[in-house]
Amino acid sequence: MTTIGRFAPSPTGVLHLGNLRTALASWLSARAAGGRWIVRMEDVDGPRCHRDLGEAQLRDLAALGLESDVPVLWQSERAAAYRAALDALHTAGRLYPCACSRKDLQKLASAPHAEDGLRPYPGRCRERVWEGFDRALRFRLPEGEVAWSDCLLGPQTDDPARLTGDPLLFRRDGCFAYHLAVGVDDGAQGVTEVVRGADLRAVTATQIRLQEALGLPRPAYAHLGLVAALDGSRLGKRDGALGLAALAAQGVTTPELLGWLGWSLGCLDRPEPCAARDLIPAFGWARVPQGEVRIPAAWA
Ligand code: GLU
């Protein structure tokens, strides 16, 4: 089976060092396996996403030597596919309308169990009768834990009800939700390998349950440690900090950046300037460190 890896950013800001590291890791993993690599723009969340930010992200990736092997798929153009998936889930009795407001959800959230700030939906609307497709819609998770394996973290067992609860697939404002779009498109694009940040590890079991309900194959997963600022805080995509342009303004060249990224992924003994393709032979999940990475002090 040909490996098909993907990088799927949301065009809500500049790709920061953590995003670039994830992009490179997914590219290296696909290339090292002799497979294909694709970029998908996850712009379903209408108001927060902008086409020009996505185009800028694609230019930054290209500057690193990372280009999609197929035309970039923009999720904002995929409404028909998402609608068809909702139809299928409804026919299978897996959707229910949710009338909870944001305020209700804040009150109901069983925060003590939350991982990564996730607040599992407690299922308050589970018994509501179907009212049509113009309501907020949730996916009814089946009971039980999900066993899955992470290329980097090893075997995992999660109870999606405890981590996310029934995920929202369609919003009252007419937007399709991330969990639906990601599952439908990984399936439609034949993705066999999902490499992404550790902040999404906790939603994987939920996404696996949704793939199963849609009859889609399960890709392999790898969740990379995040890149943190020197004080340990998370880098944010929207503040534009430490993207390619900010680093270039500090005099960091693209080969230097790639050298640091490659070193942080276990491909090099020390950060020395290189091209992305130079890293392919040395890439292997067994050599990628699991934990969080701090940005170099000189770049802070
Ligand atoms: N679009 C998501 C993000 O930018 C990533 C989705 C994924 O890799 O599954 O955070």
pTM of the model: 0.94
Least confident of 107-111, 124-128, 259-263: 107-111
- pLDDT tier at 200 (50, 70, 90 boundaries)? very high
Give the pLDDT confidence score for residue 231 in this predicted structure. Answer: 82
Is residue 182 lining ligand 1, measured as CB closer than 6 Å?
A: yes
Which residue CA neighbors atom 6 of ligand 1 most closely? Answer: 8
Q: How far is the CA of 95 from the centre of ligand 1 (A)?
A: 23
Based on the domain organization, do 84 and 208 belong to the same domain?
Answer: yes
Q: Where are the beta strands (DSSP E) in 154-264?
A: 154-158, 168-170, 193-197, 220-224, 227-228
Based on the domain organization, do 95 and 195 belong to the same domain?
Answer: yes
172 exposed, middle or buried (CB, 10 Å; 0-12, 13-18, 19+)? middle
Based on the domain organization, do 105 and 217 belong to the same domain?
Answer: yes
CA distances from 53 to 9, 14, 168, 258 (A): 11, 7, 26, 22
Structural domain boundaries enclosing 135: 79-223
Based on the domain organization, do 43 and 91 belong to the same domain?
Answer: no
Average pLDDT over residues 178-187: 97
* Residue 90 near residue 130 (C-beta atoms within 8 A): yes
Give the domain-ending residue among 206, 223, 240: 223
Based on the domain organization, do 256 and 190 belong to the same domain?
Answer: no
Average pLDDT over residues 37-65: 95
Is residue 196 lining ligand 1, measured as CB closer than 6 Å?
A: yes
Identify the DSSP state of 135.
Answer: S
Average pLDDT over residues 271-281: 98
CATH of the domain at 60: 3.40.50.620
Give the pLDDT confidence score for residue 117 in this predicted structure. Answer: 57
Flag whether pLDDT at 42 surpasses 80: yes
Based on the domain organization, do 294 and 229 belong to the same domain?
Answer: yes
Based on the domain organization, do 170 and 243 belong to the same domain?
Answer: no
Average pLDDT over residues 226-238: 78
Average pLDDT over residues 26-31: 98
Based on the domain organization, do 133 and 264 belong to the same domain?
Answer: no
Closest to 267 in 3D by CA, of 282, 251, 249: 282
Average pLDDT, the chain: 93
- Residues in contact with 29: Cβ distance below 8 Å, sequence separation at least 6, in sequence order: 3, 5, 151, 193, 195, 222, 283, 285
Q: Tens digits of per-residue pLDDT, 140-152?
A: 999 999 999 999 9
Give the pLDDT confidence score for residue 118 in this predicted structure. Answer: 65
Q: How far is the CA of 27 from the centre of ligand 1 (A)?
A: 15
Give the pLDDT confidence score for residue 113 in this predicted structure. Answer: 41
Flag whether pLDDT at 239 surpasses 80: no
Closest to 50 in 3D by CA, of 41, 40, 60: 41
Is residue 45 lining ligand 1, measured as CB closer than 6 Å?
A: no
Give the whole-number percent of the chain exceeding pLDDT 90: 84
Give the pLDDT confidence score for residue 111 in this predicted structure. Answer: 44
- pLDDT tier at 112 (50, 70, 90 boundaries)? very low
Flag whether pLDDT at 190 surpasses 50: yes
Give the pLDDT confidence score for residue 187 in this predicted structure. Answer: 98
